[in-house]
């Protein structure tokens, strides 16, 4: 009887363990809404690209032989940071706090480099090329799309930095793995959406106006 009772109780327990936690459901819903948000911005960018009566146009500012190489260099840092944060989560699961803090700090540094590179690119576009949000449709759409992504990277870096500080103070351990892992989910999303933005802005949308 006890064995039968145990067997009958096992499926619900197993189902409970396999079900998504409220935190995971929340982050999935948030990421889904962010995908819809960026999808709208990308559609707007593609719709208005090349419709300016007067330049500068993307190919005048985002020179194919120059800009993508600079941005690609910065993009490598951002995308590689997803690898570092994966190593950090794995280290935390194993209770290796020192390794976790090292890989987590490396993630923050790579994300910060990406923001610095974005700032340098914007400075060149504004000062040297005279392109700002009010210049034309290209300027408005470019800074809106790339700017919102930079904003998401900034918010992610703030949370990553806060987690590292809490870890340094001894408030993060393997017992907090799920909450820390959810932060990595958001960071992977930020990195992944940049691949789409990079392709749309610097490759697909950077074509001569006929």
Asked if residue 99 lies in contact with residue 150, where contact means CB atoms within 8 angstroms, the answer is no
- Grouping H, G, I as helix, E, B as strand and the rest as coil, residue 176 is helix
Amino acid 64: pLDDT: 52
What is the pTM for the complete model shown? Answer: 0.86
H-type helices in 19-96, by residue range? 22-48, 58-61, 67-93
Provide the CATH topology of domain 21-52+66-204.
1.20.120
Amino acid 5: pLDDT: 46
Amino acid 185: pLDDT: 97
Amino acid 206: pLDDT: 72
Amino acid 63: pLDDT: 60
- Nearest to residue 67, comparing CAs of 82, 79, 57? 57
pLDDT averaged per 10 residues in sequence order, the chain, 210 residues = 44 51 92 97 90 79 64 92 97 95 98 94 89 90 96 97 96 92 97 95 70
Task: Tell how far CA 155 is from the center of its chain.
Answer: 10
Distance separating the N- and C-terminal Cα atoms of the chain: 80
Amino acid 66: pLDDT: 54
């Amino acid at each position: 009887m006890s064995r039968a009772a145990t067997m009958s109780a096992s499926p619900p327990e197993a189902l409970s363990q396999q079900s998504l936690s409220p935190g995971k459901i929340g982050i999935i819903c948030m990421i889904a809404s962010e995908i819809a948000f960026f999808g709208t911005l990308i559609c707007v960018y593609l719709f208005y690209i090349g419709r300016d009566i007067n330049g500068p146009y993307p190919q005048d500012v985002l020179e194919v032989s120059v800009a993508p190489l600079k941005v690609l260099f910065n993009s490598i840092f951002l995308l590689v940071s997803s690898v570092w944060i994966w190593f950090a989560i794995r280290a935390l699961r194993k209770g290796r706090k020192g390794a976790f803090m090292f890989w987590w700090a490396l993630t923050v540094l790579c994300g910060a480099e990406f923001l610095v590179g974005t700032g340098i690119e914007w400075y060149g576009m504004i000062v040297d090329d005279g392109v700002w949000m009010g210049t034309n449709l290209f300027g408005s759409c470019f800074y809106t799309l790339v700017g919102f992504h930079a904003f998401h990277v900034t918010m992610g870096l703030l949370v990553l930095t806060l987690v590292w500080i809490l870890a340094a103070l001894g408030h993060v351990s393997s017992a907090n793995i799920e909450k820390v892992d959810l932060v990595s989910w958001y960071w992977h999303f930020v990195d992944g959406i940049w691949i789409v933005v990079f392709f749309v802005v610097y490759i697909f949308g950077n074509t001569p106006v006929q």
